[in-house]
């Protein structure tokens, strides 16, 4: 079996002058992340190494010495694919393929392969194709047979022997326009769903974080759902939503979103912006961090940068709760120090292990307190026989006291302002504080 059909690959991380290592990442950590991305699509990694590039070459990015050495590695391992953890121009990609006599994809191409496998909803598949076409526009080739393996997901990911179909720029542009129109329809539908939730209203709590931070594991823990949760980068692409009880008589909608990652090209971020609209509209945002990861601070900065692009400022936006996950992987003394520091911070952070469940009850209590912080306490006067409205009050609020005078029931209840307004507007029931 040759390298192409077996999925055998070589991963290289070019260490460029002034690269993203300034954000606090080591070259080795960046390489490890690239390997994780490659394994997310079941590639067999035959070799992984950092390659220092003192002066990027316009034709090949990396220098002659490294080119020659890697040619020997490709031949020795019979690798069918080389993943270059950097952005390659079309010319550089073509020249590297000729030099190494194997297929080459860059970081953007690799991420698009992952997105193509993970997309399940119509919206996700459209977003993947839009990002793919934007990326391929300068290459004027639509076929994605880099890995030459049968795979599901988006239709442009071809299997062995698929004919290379070349599209000219006009055809690509026409398809991009068509996809954007379809995505506009999807966004309008989602907007209607959000409007419907706002009328209920159930607060939306969105999970965000660097990819593989444990968002889906936490989502499953809190909702007892079966969303795909693996030790795999980009395990979630399409947002998943579930209604759960948050305590204190409050029901919430929990939303799991795609993981963020460093160095996403601008056109790819734009293509997936609709997925993040749920975050912009959320009542609370849980920033899930892998606190045990050596690059946890750099990952935090990457996530906060994306949130700022969504007009969510961590310092001034009161909706964000920092969830320090995977605490079970820390030494006990370090875990205790972290927990003490978080307790001193107040109500904007929690230390948990989504895997073991440790700290998750406390997180739910924190969510309930934050959701209920703006609720108003009032007394509602009902007819003694109005069981329907009484049940509604129990469902949407926290009933503190109920007494009757034989003809009327006086219910002291804590309600969200939207619920109080709905009670007055739709049911015509007067309230007093």
Run of H or E residues at 254: strand 250-256
Do the annotations mark residue 213 as ligand-binding? yes
CA distances (Å), 363 to each of 112, 217, 233, 288, 395, in order?
34, 14, 24, 12, 22
Residue 230 annotated in ligand binding: no
Distance CA 230, CA 217 (A): 8
Task: Check whether 59 is labelled as a binding-site residue.
Answer: no
Peptide bond into 201 cis (omega under 30): yes
DSSP 8-state secondary structure symbol assigned to residue 62: S
**Integer CA distances (angstroms), 277 to 198, 264, 291, 307, 369, in order:** 15, 18, 26, 11, 24
Element (H, E) at 11: strand 8-15
- The answer to whether 272 is a known ligand-binding residue is no
In sign, the C-alpha dihedral spanning 140, 88, 132, 162 is positive
Contact 255, 239 (CB under 8 A): yes
Is 389 annotated to bind a ligand? Reply is no
Sheet containing strand 103-106, strands side by side: 44-52, 8-15, 81-84, 103-106
DSSP code at position 329 = G
Was 327 annotated as part of a binding site? yes
236 annotated ligand-binding residue: yes
Task: Check the annotation: does 238 bind a ligand.
Answer: yes
Pairing of strands 240-247, 250-256: antiparallel
Asked whether residue 257 is marked as a ligand-binding residue, the answer is yes
Q: Is 262 annotated as a binding residue?
A: no
| 256 annotated to bind ligand | yes
DSSP readout, 209-237? Answer: EBTTSSHHHHHHHHH-------SSTT---
Was 264 annotated as part of a binding site? no
Q: Any known ligand binding at 209?
A: yes
214 annotated as ligand-binding: yes
- Number of neighbouring beta carbons within 10 Å of residue 313: 11
- 255 labelled binding-site residue: no
219 annotated as a binding-site residue: no
Residues annotated in a binding site: 209-216, 234-238, 256-259, 325-328, 353-355
Residues annotated in a binding site for GTP: 209-216, 234-238, 256-259, 325-328, 353-355
Residues annotated in a binding site for Mg(2+): 216, 236
């Amino acid at each position: 079996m040759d390298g192409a059909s077996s999925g055998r690959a070589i991963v290289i991380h070019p260490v460029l002058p002034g690269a993203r290592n300034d954000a606090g990442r080591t070259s080795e950590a960046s390489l490890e992340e690239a390997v994780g991305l490659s394994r997310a699509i079941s590639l067999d990694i035959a070799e992984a190494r950092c390659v220092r590039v003192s002066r990027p070459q316009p034709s090949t990015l990396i220098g002659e010495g490294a080119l020659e050495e890697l040619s020997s590695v490709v031949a020795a391992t019979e690798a069918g694919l080389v993943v270059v953890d950097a952005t390659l121009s079309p010319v550089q990609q073509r020249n590297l393929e000729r030099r190494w006599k194997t297929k080459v994809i860059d970081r953007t191409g690799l991420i698009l392969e992952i997105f193509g496998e993970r997309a399940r909803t119509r919206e996700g598949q459209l977003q993947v194709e839009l990002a793919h076409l934007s990326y391929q526009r300068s290459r004027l080739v639509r076929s994605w047979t880099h890995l030459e393996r049968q795979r599901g997901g988006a239709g442009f990911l071809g299997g062995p022997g698929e004919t290379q179909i070349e599209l000219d720029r006009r055809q690509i542009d026409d398809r991009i326009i068509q996809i954007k129109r379809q995505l506009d329809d999807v966004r309008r539908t989602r907007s209607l769903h959000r409007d419907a939730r706002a009328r209920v209203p159930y607060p939306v709590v969105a999970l965000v974080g660097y990819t593989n931070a444990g968002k889906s594991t936490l989502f499953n823990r809190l909702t007892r759902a079966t969303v795909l949760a693996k030790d795999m980068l980009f395990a979630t692409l399409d947002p998943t939503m579930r209604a759960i009880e948050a305590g204190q008589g409050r029901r919430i909608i929990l939303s799991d979103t795609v993981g963020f990652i460093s160095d996403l090209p601008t056109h790819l971020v734009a293509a997936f912006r609709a997925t993040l609209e749920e975050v912009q509209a959320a009542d609370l945002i849980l920033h899930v961090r892998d606190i045990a990861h050596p690059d946890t601070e750099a990952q935090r900065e990457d996530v906060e940068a994306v949130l700022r692009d969504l007009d969510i400022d961590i310092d001034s936006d009161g909706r964000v709760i920092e969830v320090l996950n995977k605490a079970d992987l820390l030494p006990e003394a370090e875990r205790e120090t972290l927990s003490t520091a978080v307790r001193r911070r107040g109500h904007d952070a929690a230390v948990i292990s989504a895997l073991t469940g440790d700290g998750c009850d406390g997180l739910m209590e924190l969510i309930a307190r934050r959701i209920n912080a703006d609720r108003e306490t009032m007394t509602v006067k009902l007819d003694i026989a109005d069981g329907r409205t009484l049940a509604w009050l129990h469902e949407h609020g926290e009933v503190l006291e109920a007494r009757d005078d034989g003809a009327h029931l006086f219910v002291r209840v804590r309600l969200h302002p939207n619920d109080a307004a709905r009670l007055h507007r739709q049911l015509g029931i007067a309230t007093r504080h």
